[in-house]
């Protein structure tokens, strides 16, 4: 497997690796993932509690997302990198709102912070790559990087 060739690519690869690992953790050891998120792990679940089902679905989605991010990183898919910055900031907003609305525990702000820091790291990586001339490489039109102001 190839390694990312840019700063932005590395930020996307790190997030992809973390997403993949959290997906595996949620599939193999769901109680540990719930604990990391600051969510209660009761010894017995009530009838009709579908937390386990939702956790399997979320963990599988995280696993798949991790694979997508890793593939984007090694292929230096810069349009995807920019897309992730925007939508990770949307994620920060949604996660902060569910905490503010008392739908999620305050500890869930850590997930929002992780998303925000990841978005910032990728945006800074895109900017650094553009300044180093990464935009001038074959197959990466400079308008894709500089046109977005990154």
DSSP-assigned states of every residue in the chain:
-PPP-SHHHHHHHHHHHHHHHHHHHHHH-HHHHHHHTT----SSPPTT--HHHHHHHHHHHHHHHHHHHHHHHHTT-HHHHHHHHHHHHHHHHHHHHHHHTTSS-GGGHHHHHHHHHHHHHHHHHHHHHHHHTGGGSTTS-HHHHHTTT-
Specify if 48 maps to a domain. Answer: no
Specify if 2 maps to a domain. Answer: no
Specify if 142 maps to a domain. Answer: no
Specify if 78 maps to a domain. Answer: yes
Domain count, the chain: 1
Specify if 69 maps to a domain. Answer: yes
Q: What is the largest CA-CA distance in the chain?
A: 59
Domain of residue 90: give its range.
Answer: 7-39+55-131
* pLDDT at 146 > cutoff 70: no
- Structure pTM? 0.80
Specify if 68 maps to a domain. Answer: yes
| Per-residue pLDDT reduced to its tens digit, 15-64 | 999 999 999 999 999 988 888 877 778 788 788 888 888 889 999 999 99
* The predicted structure's pLDDT at residue 125: 97
Specify if 27 maps to a domain. Answer: yes
């Amino acid at each position: 497997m190839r390694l990312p060739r840019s700063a932005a690519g590395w930020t996307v690869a790190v997030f992809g690796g973390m997403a993949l690992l959290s997906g595996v953790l949620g599939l193999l050891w769901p109680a540990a993932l719930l604990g990391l998120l600051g969510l209660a792990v009761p010894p017995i679940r009530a009838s009709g509690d579908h937390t386990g089902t939702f956790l399997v679905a979320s963990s599988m989605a995280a696993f798949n997302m991790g694979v997508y991010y890793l593939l984007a990183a090694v292929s230096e898919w810069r349009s995807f990198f920019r897309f992730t910055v925007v939508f990770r900031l949307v994620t920060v907003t949604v996660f902060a709102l569910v905490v503010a609305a008392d739908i999620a525990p305050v500890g869930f702000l850590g997930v929002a912070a992780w998303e925000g820091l990841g978005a910032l790291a990728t945006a800074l990586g895109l900017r650094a790559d553009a300044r180093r001339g990464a935009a001038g490489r074959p197959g990466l039109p400079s308008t894709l990087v500089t046109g977005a102001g990154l």
